[in-house]
Amino acid sequence: MPDDLPLHIAPSGADPPPAPPRRPSSPTRWVVVGAGAVIAGALLTIWWMGRAQPDPTSLAPTGPTEVEIASRRPKRQPLELPTLAASDGLLRELAAALSRHPLLARLAATKGVVRSIVLAVVQIGDGKTPAKPLAVLQPSGPLRMTQGTPGRLDPATYARWDAAVAALTSIDAADAAQVYVNVKPVFDEAYAELGYPGGDFDQAIVRAIRTLDATPDLASEPVLLQRPNYVEYEDAALRALLPVQKQLLLIGTNNRRAVLRWIHQLAANLDLKVN
């Protein structure tokens, strides 16, 4: 299995080997925050008043195909945005307003947090584990197996990811969508820096969600083979998965489903078509 699983295994009941230099793991996380819509409401009121007394003779018959379905995507609120280089303070304040989870605060305190989030989302869409941009979220402790090789991971290994998943799901997806829309120009700027001039960061989000969605939902925890300094999946089909999909399997079934459920809630609130 490639470098996305640099796992140092200690057999159950045995003292763990001396810890090697720490290498960042990566959960699949990317977070934003939000508030209400004054200008959009005023414009909607003016529009409604202007059409409140329609001329019946001017109305054309309408059919089902002419009915517009309202988008769930929130309207952008008036907000004076800083430059990308000066955006850390704003993102830190928004994150604190949304959730007090300490891991979210650690991510928000990252220097260049918008660039880190954008890079992580792009890497996930590419099938890579975003180890470097999300290094501050590395869980502590080594991976452990319940038995020899082949074997399964000790449930405590999956529990290492509980805090990271709790930080993500502590954010209300609707609030996250509102503030993402508010600050999206800054994310688009960071996305353009990565070689997507004039690009729409929504596209990167959709691509990342589709990559994670393609991870199989296993009926039981996967069987692993222990190798020197790492493990790999016994099942050849799992070995053929993209690195980020292999990593997603290693956070455990419950955590994996919680992450996927949350990102789909976010996509729904942004009216993104991911299926």
> Could you tell me which of 35, 17, 14, 15 has the C-alpha nearest to residue 176?
35
**Average of pLDDT values for 2-11?**
41
Whole-angstrom CA distances from 176 to 25, 44, 76, 193 are 24, 23, 12, 23
**Average of pLDDT values for 45-66?**
39
pLDDT in tens, 98-127: 999 999 999 999 999 999 999 999 999 999
Percent of the chain with pLDDT over 90: 58
pLDDT in tens, 171-197: 999 999 999 999 999 999 999 999 998
> Which structure tokens are listed for 252?
């455990």
pLDDT in tens, 23-40: 443 333 333 333 333 333
Q: E strands along the chain, which residues?
A: 10-11, 144-145, 224-227, 230-233
